[in-house]
Amino acid sequence: MNGTAMRFAIPNKGRLEAPTARLLQQAGFRYERTERSLAVPVLDRDIELLFVRADDVCELVTDGVADLGITGLDLVAESGADIEVLAELGYGHCRLAAAVPNTSPIDSVADFEGLRVATSHPNTAAGFFGDKGVTVRTIPLRGSVEVAPRLDIADAVVDLISSGSTMRLNGLRPVIDLLASQAALVRQRGAAEIAEVDQSVTMITSVVAARHKKYVLMNAPAHAVGKIRSLIPGFDAPSIVPLADPTMVAIHSVVDAGAVWDVIPRLKAAGASGILVLPIEQLLL
C-alpha cells in the first residue's frame, strides 16, 4: 500500500461522475467533497478518494498510485495496460462504433481502407482495423470527434454512442461496433491483497447486485404455496411464514427486478394478496 490509506481513483467530472458518487454513497462510503478537491478522506475508513479524469484512472492504477479505480471499459481497452476488471457496475453503458457521414456509401469494415478516422480511442481503432487487415489513418482528437467529417479533418469517426442522438444530429451513420462499454471497478493485475480493497469491492458489488433484485412479500392461501413457488423460482428458496389464520401463509422472496411486473399478475391469479415490492439496499451472495 502507498503511504497509509488505500487510494481509490474515481471520475471527477463527465458522465461517470454523478452515478459513481451515487454508488459510493449507497455502498456506505461517507465523505465530504469540496469543490476542486483532488484527494478526499473517507470518514471512519483508511481510504482516500482521488478525484481524477476518467481517462487518467487506468494510468494511476497501473502506476500503483491508486489501489482501486472506477472508469469505463472503453478506457481500459484504450489504455492497453494490464488491468484487472473486478466488476462491471451497470451504468455508463455505451458502445464504441465506427461511423460515416449519412451520404457515404461505406457499408463494411473493408470499405474503411485508406480512410482518415477521427477518434478519441486511437489505440482501439488502430487495433480493430489492423486485426481485420484494413489500413486506416487515425486522427486522434480529445473531444468533438463527431464534427471532424464536417470540417473535412476526417472521412469517418470511431466514437462512443449511447442513444445515438449525437451521431444523428451530426449526420453520421454507425457502420460497425468495436466494443461495448460500461463503468467498471478496476485494479492493477497482480496487485497485493489489501483488506481495505477487498472490503470496498464487497461494499460496491453488493449494491450493484441489489439493484437488479427486489424483495417481494405476499400473503397467500397455504394450499397455493406450491403454485406460487413455481412462479418465483428466485435465486433462493422463498421463506414461508405461518400467519395467525392457519389457512394462510406469508411468502418472502428475492425476485429479478426486470421480472417483477410480469410475475405479479400471475401471483395474484394464484391467490396471492397484499403484495409488497421492496428495494434491497445491499445483496451479498
Q: Note the residues at the interface with ligand AMP (CB under 6 A).
A: 14-16, 54, 72, 74-75, 92, 94, 160-162, 181
Q: Which of residues 142 and 246 has its CB atom nearest to ligand AMP in the complex?
A: 142
Distance of closest approach, residue 176 Cβ to ligand AMP, in angstroms: 17
CA 28 to chain CA centroid, Å, is 19
Distance of closest approach, residue 13 Cβ to ligand AMP, in angstroms: 6
Q: Which of residues 19 and 41 has its CB atom nearest to ligand AMP in the complex?
A: 19
Q: Which of residues 9 and 267 has its CB atom nearest to ligand AMP in the complex?
A: 9
Distance of closest approach, residue 230 Cβ to ligand AMP, in angstroms: 39
Residue whose C-alpha is closest to residue 67's, from 98, 45, 92: 45
Q: Residue 241: what residue type?
A: V
Distance of closest approach, residue 223 Cβ to ligand AMP, in angstroms: 50
| CA distances to 24, 80, 184 from 84, in Å | 20, 11, 10
Distance of closest approach, residue 204 Cβ to ligand AMP, in angstroms: 17
Helix (H, G, I), strand (E, B) or coil at 35: coil
CA 225 to chain CA centroid, Å, is 37
Distance of closest approach, residue 203 Cβ to ligand AMP, in angstroms: 22
Q: Which of residues 72 and 238 has its CB atom nearest to ligand AMP in the complex?
A: 72
Q: Which of residues 16 and 115 has its CB atom nearest to ligand AMP in the complex?
A: 16
Q: Which residues of 78-94 are buried (b: 16+ CB within 10 A; e: fewer)?
A: bbeeebeebebbbbbeb
Q: Which of residues 178 and 251 has its CB atom nearest to ligand AMP in the complex?
A: 178
Q: Residue 259: what residue type?
A: A
| CA distances to 25, 28, 86, 140 from 43, in Å | 12, 10, 24, 41
Match 481509490 to its residue by C-alpha cell: 8
Asked whether the beta carbons of 91 and 181 are under 8 A apart, the reply is no
Match 471532424 to its residue by C-alpha cell: 148
Angle formed at CA 125 by CA 123 and CA 130, multiple of 5 degrees:
95
Which residues does 269 contact at the CB level (< 8 Å), separation at least 6?
A: none
Q: Which of residues 72 and 149 has its CB atom nearest to ligand AMP in the complex?
A: 72
Q: Is 38 exposed, middle or buried (0-12, 13-18, 19+ CB in 10 A)?
A: exposed
Q: Which of residues 74 and 155 has its CB atom nearest to ligand AMP in the complex?
A: 74
Q: How far apart (Å, rounded) are the C-alpha atoms in residues 5 and 48?
A: 6
Asked whether the beta carbons of 233 and 254 are under 8 A apart, the reply is no
Distance of closest approach, residue 192 Cβ to ligand AMP, in angstroms: 27
Distance of closest approach, residue 16 Cβ to ligand AMP, in angstroms: 5
